[in-house]
């Protein structure tokens, strides 16, 4: 089981995404953080959160805690670390965080914000974690017919929950792990991949890309986003693992 990573700054002036990959004797930990755009020091927030999360997850391994408790505790530690950093610089900001732990054919996760955790299985892409942005609210209007899908995706980037040092209002951390099947792909991403991976109807070309095993998936996703030549392209980070 090997993790692959790719990043692209997109059309932004600075890369505010951070990631971490850590291997353990019985599994692998994946983390993606997206510094909140429009705030000062987004890159600092995302890096601080990723590093603090991994450090605490390491320390809790020796305590025999269940994985879900280790993930929740590491999230709290990361949130506090972000808060301390912003107190030092007398500023305010934050970051999303999605973390996944894969071991023995099982997947655990914890997330705050809108950075997605995807499962690619049998040519279907399913988002596993909750979306803590306004898009999740706007999609209800789409179902009611009062808003288009594209409008919901474009207008709904505002976050309802993030790591800022204050208690996050929404946290997704299922108590029961998700069982994996041979051939599954687990994908963590920042929202720079949204236009490619979250259309209302996924084209066959993207399905073929997600099915491709000839090259690491994150590199293929970044290349596909580059070819779109979107003038508003956000920072992009992709981390993936294939469960065989």
Phi first, then psi: what are they for 72, rounded to 5°? -65, -40
pLDDT attached to residue 160: 87
Mean pLDDT of 136-142: 72
DSSP of 152-172, one letter per residue? HHHH--SBS--BSSSPPS--B
Instruction: Tell me, yes or no, whether 195 lies in a domain.
Output: yes
Give the CATH number of the domain where residue 29 resides.
3.60.40.10
| Cβ atoms < 10 Å from Cβ of 139 | 16
Instruction: Tell me, yes or no, whether 140 lies in a domain.
Output: no
Give the confidence band of 37 by pLDDT, cuts at 50, 70, 90. Answer: low
Give the confidence band of 154 by pLDDT, cuts at 50, 70, 90. Answer: low
- Nearest-5° angle of CA 215, CA 216, CA 219? 100
Query: Does the pLDDT of residue 226 top 70, yes or no?
Result: yes
Number of domains present in the structure of the chain? 1
d(CA 192, CA 214): 23
Instruction: Tell me, yes or no, whether 110 lies in a domain.
Output: yes
Instruction: Tell me, yes or no, whether 21 lies in a domain.
Output: yes
Q: Could you tell me which residue, 97 or 158, shows the higher pLDDT?
A: 97
Please return the burial class of 22, using the count of CB atoms within 10 Å of its CB with bins 0-12, 13-18 and 19+: middle
Mean pLDDT of 160-189: 96
Instruction: Tell me, yes or no, whether 153 lies in a domain.
Output: no
Phi first, then psi: what are they for 7, rounded to 5°? -135, 155
pLDDT attached to residue 89: 79
Instruction: Tell me, yes or no, whether 90 lies in a domain.
Output: yes
- Three-state SS at 52: helix
Query: Does the pLDDT of residue 176 top 80, yes or no?
Result: yes
pTM over 0.85: yes
Instruction: Tell me, yes or no, whether 26 lies in a domain.
Output: yes
Instruction: Tell me, yes or no, whether 133 lies in a domain.
Output: no
Domain hosting residue 107, numbered range: 3-128+161-243
Question: Distance between terminal CA atoms of the chain?
Answer: 8
pLDDT attached to residue 70: 98
Q: pLDDT of 81-104, one tens digit each? A: 999 998 887 778 899 999 999 999
Q: pLDDT of 39-74, one tens digit each? A: 568 999 999 999 999 999 999 987 889 999 999 999
């Amino acid at each position: 089981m090997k993790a692959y990573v790719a990043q692209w700054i997109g059309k932004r002036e600075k890369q505010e995404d951070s990631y971490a990959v850590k291997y353990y004797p019985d599994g692998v930990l994946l983390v993606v953080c997206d510094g909140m755009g429009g705030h000062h020091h987004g890159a600092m927030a995302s890096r601080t959160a990723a590093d603090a999360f991994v450090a605490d997850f390491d320390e809790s391994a020796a305590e025999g805690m269940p994985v879900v408790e280790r993930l929740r505790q590491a999230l709290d530690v990361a949130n506090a670390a972000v808060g301390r950093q912003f107190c030092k610089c007398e500023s305010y900001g934050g970051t999303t965080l999605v973390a996944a732990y894969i071991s023995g054919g099982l997947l655990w996760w914890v997330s705050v914000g809108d950075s997605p955790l995807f499962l690619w299985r049998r040519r279907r892409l399913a988002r596993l974690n909750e979306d803590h942005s306004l898009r999740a609210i706007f999609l209800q209007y789409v179902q009611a017919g009062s808003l288009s899908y594209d409008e919901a995706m474009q207008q709904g980037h505002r976050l309802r929950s993030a790591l800022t040092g204050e208690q996050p209002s929404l946290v997704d951390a299922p108590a029961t792990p998700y069982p994996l099947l041979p051939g599954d792909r687990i994908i963590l991403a920042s929202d720079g991949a949204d236009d490619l991976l979250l259309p209302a109807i996924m084209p066959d070309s993207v399905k073929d890309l997600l099915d491709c095993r000839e090259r690491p998936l994150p590199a293929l996703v970044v290349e596909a986003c580059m070819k779109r030549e979107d003038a508003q392209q956000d920072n992009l980070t992709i981390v993936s693992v294939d469960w065989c």
